[in-house]
Amino acid sequence: MFESLTDRLQSVFRDLGNRGVLREQDVDEVLREIRLALLEADVDYKVVKDFIGRVRERAVGAEVTKSLSPAQQVIKIVNEELIETLGKPGRIELTGPAPYVVMLVGLQGSGKTTMVAKLAKHFRQKGRLPLMVAGDTYRPAAGKQLEVLGRQLDLPVYGEAQSLPPQICAHGVREARRRGRDVVILDTAGRLQIDAEMMSELEAVKQATDPVETLLVADAMTGQEAVNVAEGFNERIGLTGLILTKVDGDARGGAAISMRAVTGVPIKFLGTGEKTDALEVFHPDRLASRILGMGDVLTLIERAEQTFDEEQAKQMERKIREASFDLEDFLDQLQQVKQMGPLTQLLEMIPGMRGAVQDVSAEATDEQFKHIEAIILSMTPEERRNPRIIKGSRKKRIARGSGTSVQEVNMLLSQFRQMQRVMKQLGKGRGEMQRLMRMFG
C-alpha cells in the first residue's frame, strides 16, 4: 500500500545520508520533500503540517547538531514522529458480563462481512467462543456469504429472514447467551455513502445490543475520503476503533496515517488480503517501519509461528542435520509458506529486501509456486524421496503430467540439489544449525 510513499522517502533519506553536516536550510529542504511525499500519498494536509512542524522543531535543535550522524538522527526523528501520528495501538476491550458484542459498521464494499469472519477466527484463536450475526438484510448475498464463511470456519451464524436489523442483532445476542457463546460479532448494512436512514438504523442496533466495541471497517483504497467517512461515523455513532481493509492493494496509504490523527480513534486491525486469516493486529511502530522501508521482521515471525508448530520445526531441523531433506519435505514447506501470505509481501517484511522484489509481481510468484507443486506432485513417492533416479524418460513423464517442460523439471531438480548441498554443510556443524535457527526466530 505504501509503495510510492516508501520509495519517495527512501530517496530523500539516501540524499540526506550523503551530507556530513546538516545546516538548517538542509533540514528545510529535506522536510519540503517529505511534505510533498506525504501529500501525494493522500495524507490530510493538516496532519502533514503538524507532523512537519514537530519534526522540524526537533531536527534543527541540539538533538541533531550534537549527533555523530545527523542524517541518521533525522531519520530516527521522522520514525518516532510517524509512530506518534499513527497513535498508540488500540486493542479490543472485552470487559463486563458476557456475551461481549462487537459491532462492525462501514460503507458498502468496505469488506465488513468478510471482516466479521476474520474477527471470529481471531477470537477463537484467543480461546473465545464467537457467534456471527447476519444483520445486513439489504444486500441479498450478505447473509448467504456469512453462512458460507461460517461453514468454512466451523463457526455458528445467526440470522432471520423477515425481521428488522435491530431485532435480528438483539435476538442474536440472546441466542449467544443461550448457547454459551461469549463474543457476538454483528454484521450491519452499509450504503454507497453516509445517509440519515443508515445512521438511524445503526443507532437503533447499538441501543438494542449495547456493544463493547463499535468498529468502523474502512477501505484504505478510498484514500482521503476514508478520513471523511470515519469522521462522519464517529460523530453520529461513536466509534471505539478503526479497521483498515485492502492494505495489500495499491492505495497510496494516506488514510492509515491520517485517520487516527483526525478522528482520535485508534486503529485496531489491518486487513491484508481476502482470506479469513489475512488479519493483522495494528502496531504503529511496525507500520512506521514498513513506510520507511525498514521491513517488519516481528510480524513475519508472528506469521511463521502461527503457521509452523514446534514439532514441525524440530523434525525439519533433524532432517537438515541428517541431510535427509527430500522433495516431499520441500513440497510441505512450500505449502506452509504459502499459508503465510504472498511471497512478495513476506519478502518486503525483511529489511533490505524491498528493492529485490519491486519487479516481481505476486501473480508471477504464485504461478511459479503452482508449477513447482505440479512438478513434484507428478512424481512417484519413490522419485520424491530419491530424486537421483529421475532420468530422461521419467523427466518427460513428469513434464507431461505437470503441464510443464523438461527444462522446467531440470531447473527444479538442479535448484533442489544445490539446496541439499547447502543443507548438508549446515548439518555438519551443530553451531551453524543453531545460528540458522536463531536467524529465523
Which H, E and C letters describe 238-256, residue by residue?
Answer: CCCEEEEECCCCCCCCHHH
On whether residue 95 sits in a domain, the answer given is: no
One-letter amino acid of 434: Q
Query: Which is it for the CA torsion 28, 32, 33, 37, positive or negative?
Result: positive
Instruction: Tell whether 274 is covered by a domain.
Output: yes
Q: Which CATH number is 391's domain given?
A: 1.10.260.30
- What CATH number is associated with residue 28? 1.20.120.140
Q: Which residue do the cell numbers 533416479 mark?
A: 389
Q: Are residues 170 and 282 in the same domain?
A: yes
Q: CA–CA separation, 181 vs 185, rounded Å? A: 11
Where does a domain end: 26, 61, 86?
86
155 shares a domain with 61: no
- Answer yes or no: do 142 and 213 share one domain: yes
**221/263 same-domain check:** yes
Give the pLDDT score at 18: 65
Kindly state whether residues 67 and 149 are assigned to the same domain: no
Total domains in the fold of the chain: 3
Residue 277 lies in a domain: yes
* Residues 141 and 288 reside in one and the same domain: yes
With respect to residue 93, please indicate whether it lies within any of the assigned structural domains.
Answer: no
294-308 in b/e form (b: 16+ CB < 10 A) is bbbeebbebbbeebb
> Is 332 in the same domain as 244?
no
Task: Write out pLDDT tens, residues 48-102.
Answer: 899 899 888 887 765 555 555 666 777 788 888 888 888 887 788 888 888 999 9
Q: Are residues 108 and 38 in the same domain?
A: no
Candidate from 161-170, 177-186, 227-236 with smallest mean pLDDT: 227-236
The cell numbers describing 212, all together, are 463493547
Within 10 Å of residue 402's Cβ, how many Cβ atoms? Answer: 21
**pLDDT-derived band at 46, boundaries 50, 70, 90:** confident
Q: Do residue 328 and residue 277 come from a single domain?
A: no
pLDDT one-digit tens code per residue, 220-250: 777 677 788 888 889 889 999 999 888 776 5
Instruction: Out of 42, 57, 86, pick the residue that ends a domain.
Output: 86
Q: What is the mean pLDDT of the chain?
A: 79
In what side-by-side order are the strands of the sheet with 241-245? 157-158, 130-134, 183-187, 100-105, 213-219, 241-245, 267-271, 279-281
- Looking at 86, 111, 145, the residue that finishes a domain is 86
Say which CATH number the domain at 269 has.
Answer: 3.40.50.300
pLDDT at 207 over 90: yes
Residues 281 and 315 grouped into a single domain: no
Kindly state whether residues 318 and 398 are assigned to the same domain.
yes
Model's pTM, two decimal places? Answer: 0.66
Give mean pLDDT, residues 112-122. 94
Which of 138-142, 223-227, 300-304, 434-438 is most confident? 138-142
36 and 52 share one domain: yes
Structural domain boundaries enclosing 259: 100-294
More confident residue, 259 or 144: 144
